[in-house]
């Protein structure tokens, strides 16, 4: 079962559609080179001093080319962003997303993977020395998706990397929904979890 099949149950569809439309429109502006000038003014900054009400929480890769605020063309305070190599979930990432759901009442959690992901490429090629260090923990989190991708691809190439990265998005979304906090919120209709894919060449985000 895909993440959205469980997580959209009970969430007002018009609310979800409105948010997805806002993010999609922002991405199209970015992709076509016509972004709005995001409001990062002193007035905007001061208005957020004592509260925030982001549209969504986004788990994205640390890759310097895939900043969600820019890709989705959103202003200061619009997105609660968690970034980690390979957009993988661990206890700290999960705790951050739980905070966004419980304390900031975000109605949407997005797991956004991207084409040409370096972390997935490294996992596919196993080209990082096994030192038992932090990098290995990232690769270990990605490896189940890479193994699945290897089952349908004969060699490591861009297509295999992107297949692994897409499978990784689905896997991480499912891990998020294993959180009791987020699962309960989803079943109560307070939040949806959606998977997204950013294509670096086109600049477009698609909802999986």
* CATH number of the structural domain spanning residue 42: 3.40.1050.10
Please indicate, yes or no, if residue 115 is contained in any of the structural domains: yes
Domain membership flag for residue 57: no
Provide the H-helix boundaries in 66-156. 68-71, 91-103, 118-125, 134-150
Cβ count near 3 (within 10 Å): 24
pLDDT tens, position by position, 54-78: 999 999 999 999 999 999 999 999 9
**Main-chain dihedrals φ then ψ at residue 108, nearest 5 degrees:** -145, 130
**Among the listed residues 142, 25, 144, the one whose alpha carbon sits nearest the alpha carbon of residue 90:** 142
Whether the Cβ atoms of residue 160 and residue 149 lie closer than 8 Å to each other: yes
Place of tokens 């923990």: 137
The domain of 17 spans 3-48+67-207
In a domain, residue 58? The reply is no
150 in any annotated domain = yes
- Residue 56 falls inside a structural domain: no
In the numeric block, the tokens 């290995």 are attached to 136
Please tell me the total count of domains within the chain: 1
Task: Calculate mean pLDDT across residues 134-156.
Answer: 86
Nearest to 193 by CA among 23, 6, 25, 26: 6
Helix or strand or coil: residue 180? helix
Would the pLDDT of 3 be above 60?
no
pLDDT at 180 over 70: yes
pTM of the model: 0.88
CA angle 59, 64, 67 (to 5 degrees): 45
User: Could you tell me if residue 179 is inside a domain?
Assistant: yes
Query: Is residue 162 situated within a structural domain?
Result: yes
């Amino acid at each position: 079962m895909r993440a959205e099949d469980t997580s959209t149950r009970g969430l007002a569809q018009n609310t979800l559609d409105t948010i997805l439309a806002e993010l999609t429109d922002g991405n199209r502006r970015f992709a076509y080179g016509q972004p709005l000038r995001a409001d990062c003014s002193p007035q905007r900054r001061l208005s957020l001093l004592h509260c925030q009400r982001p549209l969504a929480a986004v788990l994205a890769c640390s890759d310097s080319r895939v900043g969600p605020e820019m890709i989705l063309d959103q202003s200061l305070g619009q997105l609660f962003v968690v970034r980690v190599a390979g957009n993988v979930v661990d206890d700290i990432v999960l705790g951050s997303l739980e905070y966004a759901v419980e304390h900031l009442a975000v109605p949407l959690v997005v797991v956004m993977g991207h084409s040409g992901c370096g972390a997935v490429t490294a996992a596919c090629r196993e080209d990082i020395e096994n030192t038992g260090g932090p990098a290995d923990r990232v690769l270990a989190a990605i490896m189940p998706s890479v193994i699945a991708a290897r089952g349908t691809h004969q060699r490591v190439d861009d297509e295999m990397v992107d297949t692994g990265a897409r499978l990784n998005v689905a896997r991480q979304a499912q891990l998020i929904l294993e959180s009791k906090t987020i699962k309960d919120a989803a079943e109560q209709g307070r939040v949806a979890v959606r998977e997204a894919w950013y294509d670096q060449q086109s600049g477009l985000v698609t909802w999986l």
